[in-house]
Amino acid sequence: MDWYTVFWRQWCIFKRRFWKIFATSLVNPLLFLTVFGWGLGRHITIEGDSYLHFVVPGIISLTTMNVTFNSTAIPLNINRLYHRTYEEFIMAPITSHSVVLGEAAAGCLRGFFAAVVVLGLSFAFSARISLGPLFWVVLLLNSFLFSCLGIFAAMLINSHEDMNAFSSFVIVPMAFLSNTFFSTRDLPAAVNLLINALPLTHTSKALRALALQQAFPWESLLVLVFFAALFYWLAVRVSLKVE
């Protein structure tokens, strides 16, 4: 239960800051839904459906990525470099696997909470979304892999300024290119190949297929499993070097 102790610490923080977290979780999805739902969604159809129905799964995948990455990478990086509280984990008789798993589980909790907020807003905007068990499995994989990526970045990067640069060069481009706001079908083959190498692309594809009751892309699920395992392994390896 070592990992659960790490998770419990983050759970206590989540409960203490619940309303602040809830308020901040509303802002970006509400802006996206207002602009792309009410603003553009009324006049555009894409892939034979309303743009609002098309964009909601992309907003969910984008929001869970941002929330899970930022909720693990930034606090852990600050705690390691400035507050020095990460040293408590190093001195405790627990493994790096337990630390990474506990932090990733906390990131998944924040990701699921953000997804529920977006879904509530989407229903308020009259979006049509079909939910099922596989929908939540994809969300879990997306939250887990970006939590592990956040841990990896927090352990690898040695300044808060460089953390912002990592977000600017990795997270922000992925947010806007990964099939979140537009279809990639008509893009050049080389660009499409590059976009399909990004994990968020496969999350958007899978969630959109499930939400709109289309044929599910099982290869996307395998890609997400691969990235989840890869980022978890990288996070553990970097944590071992820090110790």
- Residues 8 and 86: their CA atoms lie apart, in Å, by 15
| pLDDT above 60 (res 243) | no
Mean pLDDT confidence for 122-136: 83
Mean pLDDT confidence for 58-84: 87
Q: Which domain holds residue 44?
A: 2-242
Give pLDDT tens digits for 134-170.
Answer: 999 999 999 999 999 999 998 888 887 788 888 889 9
pTM of this structure: 0.89
- pLDDT: is 8 or 188 the higher one? 8
- pLDDT: is 192 or 69 the higher one? 69
Q: What percent of the chain is predicted at pLDDT more than 90?
A: 33
Question: How does residue 199 score in pLDDT terms, banded at 50, 70 and 90?
Answer: very high
- Residues 59 and 52: their CA atoms lie apart, in Å, by 10
Furthest CA-CA distance within the chain: 59
Mean pLDDT confidence for 76-81: 82
pLDDT in the model for residue 39 = 63
- pLDDT: is 229 or 21 the higher one? 229
Signed CA dihedral, 228, 230, 232, 234: sign only: negative
| pLDDT above 90 (res 190) | no
Q: What total of structural domains would you count in the chain?
A: 1
Mean pLDDT confidence for 198-210: 92
| pLDDT above 80 (res 37) | no
The mean predicted confidence, pLDDT, of the chain is: 85
Mean pLDDT confidence for 50-70: 88
- Residues 107 and 75: their CA atoms lie apart, in Å, by 11
- Residues 212 and 215: their CA atoms lie apart, in Å, by 9
Least confident segment among 116-125, 137-146, 172-181, 185-194: 185-194
pLDDT in the model for residue 204 = 92
Report helix, strand and coil shares of the chain as percent, to nearest 5. Answer: 80, 0, 20
